[in-house]
């Protein structure tokens, strides 16, 4: 997800606390370690087939997955994003990474493999219609209503079950990245008029990071 318009070891991952992982500790060191091991890759953009279909489940948890996550953190930093799904660098696997603040300014850093969003009870579905952007729709932004609280369940790079919760902007990020892995871009949730406007913004803008041109 775009910013608002405005050696792999177990102990490098956040500790668990109760049901949800703690992803707010040692953020700078953990993000830097991933990024320094990774290689930045160009970003796929709307129209690329890999972005418009459900990705494959991850079934192997080893060095290749760990390297992919490192590359995703490096790519996310190059593009100055707050979240990145694997298909945004052309990889057909259900993985996303994030380095995103919540509305209180608390930084969250982590990754989720095979993510599934919880269905929220009605009393938790408070909608926030803030602006949203996407690295795969560069330079475009649009208002999109999403719940201001989200829970994503999945696995970590070692295959351990994890759950991540977020509020505000971070909740939007969790929903946005999970959507990617099931073949949806945020513009797919817009009205026809707003989608057309977002694509116009993209056509008129110039990406600030390397992208994969669609043939």
Q: Enumerate the active-site residues.
A: 177
Half-sphere exposure of 164 (CA within 13 A, CB side): 33
Reduced to 3 states (helix: H, G, I; strand: E, B; else coil), residue 48 is: coil
**Cβ atoms of residues 38 and 72 within 8 Å:** yes
Residue of 46, 3, 41 whose CA lies nearest to 137? 46
Give dist(CA 207, CA 95) in Å, integer.
24
Count of CB atoms within 10 A of residue 115's CB?
Answer: 24
Give dist(CA 89, CA 71) in Å, integer.
9
How far, rounded to the nearest angstrom, does the alpha carbon of residue 105 sit from its chain's CA centroid?
18
């Amino acid at each position: 997800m775009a910013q608002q318009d405005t050696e792999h070891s177990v102990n490098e991952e956040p500790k668990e606390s109760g049901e949800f992982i703690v992803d707010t500790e040692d953020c700078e060191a953990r993000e830097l370690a991933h990024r320094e091991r990774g290689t930045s890759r160009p970003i796929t953009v709307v129209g690329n087939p890999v972005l418009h279909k459900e990705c494959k489940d991850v079934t192997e948890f080893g060095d290749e997955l760990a390297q992919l996550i490192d590359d995703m953190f490096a790519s996310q930093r190059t593009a100055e994003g707050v979240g990145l799904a694997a298909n945004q660098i052309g990889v057909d696997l259900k993985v996303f990474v994030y380095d995103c603040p919540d509305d209180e300014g608390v930084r969250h850093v982590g990754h989720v493999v095979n993510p599934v969003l919880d269905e929220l009870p009605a009393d938790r579905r408070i909608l926030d219609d803030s602006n949203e952007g996407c690295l795969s729709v560069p330079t475009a932004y649009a208002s999109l209503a999403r719940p201001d609280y989200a829970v994503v369940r999945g696995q970590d790079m070692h295959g351990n079950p994890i759950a991540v919760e977020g509020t505000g902007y971070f909740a939007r990020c969790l929903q946005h990245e999970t959507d990617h892995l099931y073949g949806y871009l945020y513009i797919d949730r817009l009205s026809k008029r707003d989608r057309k406007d977002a694509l116009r913004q993209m056509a008129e803008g110039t990406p600030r990071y390397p992208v994969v041109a669609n043939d």
